[in-house]
Structure 1
Amino acid sequence: MPISKPYLQMPIVESGETLLPIPQDRFAFETPHPYQVLGAPYEQASPYFLRESVLEALQSAQGYLQQLQPHWQIMIFDAYRPIAVQTFMVNFTYAQVLQEKGWQPETLSPSQKEEAWQEVYGLWAPPNVDPKSPPPHSTGAAVDITLFDWTTNEPVFMGSEIDELSARSHPHYFADLAANPQTSPNEKRLAEQADQNRRIMCEAMQKVGFQRHQQEWWHFSLGDQMWAWLNQLEQPHLTFKARYGRIEPVGS
């Protein structure tokens, strides 16, 4: 069973903004797209779309990032995600968890099944079709990113891979590791580097209004239910609502 996500209780007042393509000349891209490689059913949709105001903010974040690091660029891993793709990735990850644990689907105990789904929904939002509780990426207001360094022609070191099912995905994991007196000098050096790079990326995104997922260093949103919920936590004296619900691409 899906795990309840607290942000899904936030109200949505749809703005009606359209989805727009992310400019190929402004950002680096993870290509080929990782979920398309797995066979995710995008059909006529593209993962490289965002709502108009979200895209404008992302471009502003790019400009601010390059004030901090002139040779760095935001690298787009994933953005818009249809419900069908969300369902595909949830099921793919469930199978991946079972494989890693050496469990067979037909012999799972109820507790093993629950444990597996707990791991899956620790990373993925439920692929809800209820318009009151859409997955963040299906709103066109969430984007998964890392950073790219044009001087090395390589992604910037962030300490772990996007979508990694481990504690290393938590935004402050490497800050805690570096502060641990039992961490070796070499591990501390790498941890401090990863933490600093994550902080720079987060600073650029938050500067223009994005909120970062509490458990994923790569996931940022602006205007969806998660964004509204995180703002509400930070400013409980105010009232926040999401302005983006689930959207279908034009022509679908």
Structure 2
Amino acid sequence: MPRRIRTAVFNSELAVRLQAVSGPEPIAALNRVKERECGEPLVDIRKHCPGVCVSRKCLPYLRKTVAEKLSQAQEALPPGYKLHVTTALRTKEAQQALFDKYFAELTEKHPDWSYATRRRQTCRFFAPHDQPAPPGHCTGAAVDVHLLLPSGKKAELRKPLTGWKSARSLATGLSERAVRNREILFVAMLAAGFSNCAEEFWHFSYGDAGWAVRIGEPECVYGWVSLSQ
């Protein structure tokens, strides 16, 4: 008989703090955010964020202020723990490819669905590239982060849930270990000034349209950006 995993609930004070900077971010709300692009440059987080681990497949660039906040979050972690960045900057072409690929998969799997339904379902998982508000990763303001233990191993953040069932930041039914590790991650990132996507516990941003919608700001300071700028 498999070992039964004990589940836990999140610290109530942290849950309230998280909910204050995390919430629904419908496309219409994102498009209403006024963009005041500040022109801040991108920096290489491999050099700018000592102590932070960066995935080999990651395009390792963020806006300078966002990178500084990532370093602050790293410093706020308990001794030995490290942030592991899996996605930082994403080009518009890469974003479009991800969106189009999933849309095509839905078209093949559900040929009876209308175009609107397929697009709506695709937008649940991939931010559209053809709206006024650019996807967070395409602004250099969003970062996907996980947690590494002092041993160097990946911290447990999902069990016993799997896939998208484990994606919500305050998902219920997580093991005690997963809740504890998520709290370590959330506390550090929130302390640095990031907001969190309620549907993706790993996704944080500062200064983009998503950040603005989550915290109730009418304006954002980062828009489309590319390495050639």
TM-score in terms of structure 2 length: 0.78
4+ long deviations beyond 6 Å: none
2:192 paired with 1:229 = no
CA–CA separation in structure 1 for the residues paired with 2:122 and 2:165: 14
2:126 paired with 1:104 = no
8 A Cα contact 1:8 1:226, kept in partner: no
8 A Cα contact 2:195 2:205, kept in partner: yes
Number of residues of Structure 1 aligned to a counterpart in Structure 2: 200
Q: In structure 1, the residue corresponding to 2:46 is in which secondary structure?
A: coil
1:26 maps to what in 2?
Answer: 51
TM-score in terms of structure 1 length: 0.72
Q: Structure 1's 28 and 158: CA in aligned 2 closer, same or farther, altered over 3 A?
A: same
Q: Which runs of 5+ in 1 are unaligned?
A: 34-45, 179-190, 233-238
CA–CA separation in structure 1 for the residues paired with 2:205 and 2:108: 36
Higher RCO (C-alpha 8 Å, min separation 6): 2
2:83 maps to what in 1?
Answer: 74
% same residue: 26
CA–CA separation in structure 2 for the residues paired with 1:74 and 1:214: 19
Q: CA deviation at 1:165?
A: 5.7
Equivalent AA in structure 1 for residue 211 of structure 2: W
What does 1:127-138 correspond to in 2, within 5 Å? 127-128=129-130, 132-138=132-138
What does 1:107-118 correspond to in 2, within 5 Å? 108-111=111-114, 114-118=116-120
CA–CA separation in structure 2 for the residues paired with 1:119 and 1:212: 21
Q: CA deviation at 1:90?
A: 1.3
2:156 maps to what in 1?
Answer: 157
CA–CA separation in structure 1 for the residues paired with 2:53 and 2:104: 30
Q: CA deviation at 1:247?
A: 0.9
Q: In structure 2, the residue corresponding to 1:154 is in which secondary structure?
A: coil
Q: In structure 1, the residue corresponding to 2:148 is in which secondary structure?
A: strand
Q: Which runs of 5+ in 2 are unaligned?
A: 1-25
CA–CA separation in structure 1 for the residues paired with 2:104 and 2:146: 26
